[in-house]
Structures are given as structure tokens and as C-alpha cells.
């Protein structure tokens, strides 16, 4: 049996629910999200061309705006860094304290003694 300092030689242990996803998984996730957004941009561009050819007027502006602004958001999201992996959000600290004692004491025969008040003379 090995004895010694219990803290030495032990690495910091993470709960499975709090561990970050691996670097390669994170990169794959960001690449898939970027490609999805670029696919949506291509669809917006095609819809804009079809609408322009069919002379639909000012309605062409809607898919054109999508085709213009989606690349900005796609790049920002792709380069934003690692995503937080904890989906549970903020965890409130709840200490494990023993129950507090009642200052009046336990009831005797099912009745508590009256608490002293202002009118006690």
C-alpha cells in the first residue's frame, strides 16, 4: 500500500459534463457552421438573381442583403474561438452545511414554550 501526501502525483480531474470538447472537434464544428452559412449565402444569391430576372422590383433587396451580410457573420463565428462546452450555465454554489439549531429548543410534549415579548412583565 502506498502512503504519502494524498495530493501529490494526482492530476486535476474534470467532470465529464464540464470538460471542453477536443480541439479537432471544435474546429470541425466551426467549419461545418461556416460552410452551412456560406451555403445559405449561395442560395440567397441564386434567389436574388432569379428574382431580378423576373423583374420583381424591390423584393430583390431582401436576398441581396442576406448574400452581402452573411459572410461577415460566418467569418466572425468561425474565428470566434472555442465555444463554451458547459451547457448547464451558471452553477450556484450550495455548501453542504449541517442543519442549524432552533434557539428555542425542541418542543416538550408537543408544545413550544411562548417566546418572550414586549408585554411580559
Listed as ranges, residues in the chain with pLDDT below 50 are 1-2, 4
Which residue in 38, 100, 25 sits closest to 66, CA to CA? Answer: 38
Burial class (CB in 10 A: 0-12, 13-18, 19+), 34: middle
pLDDT at 89: 58
The answer to pTM > 0.75 is no
Amino acid at each position: 500500500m502506498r502512503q504519502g501526501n494524498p495530493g501529490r502525483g494526482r492530476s486535476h480531474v474534470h467532470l465529464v459534463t464540464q470538460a471542453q470538447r477536443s480541439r479537432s472537434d471544435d474546429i470541425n464544428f466551426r467549419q461545418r457552421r461556416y460552410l452551412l452559412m456560406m451555403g445559405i449565402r449561395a442560395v440567397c444569391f441564386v434567389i436574388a438573381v432569379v428574382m431580378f430576372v423576373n423583374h420583381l422590383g424591390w423584393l430583390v433587396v431582401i436576398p441581396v442583403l442576406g448574400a452581402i451580410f452573411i459572410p461577415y457573420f460566418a467569418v466572425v463565428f468561425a474565428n470566434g474561438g472555442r465555444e463554451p462546452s458547459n451547457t448547464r450555465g451558471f452553477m450556484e454554489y450550495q455548501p453542504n452545511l449541517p442543519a442549524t439549531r432552533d434557539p428555542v429548543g425542541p418542543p416538550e410534549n408537543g408544545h413550544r414554550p411562548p417566546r418572550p415579548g414586549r408585554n411580559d412583565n
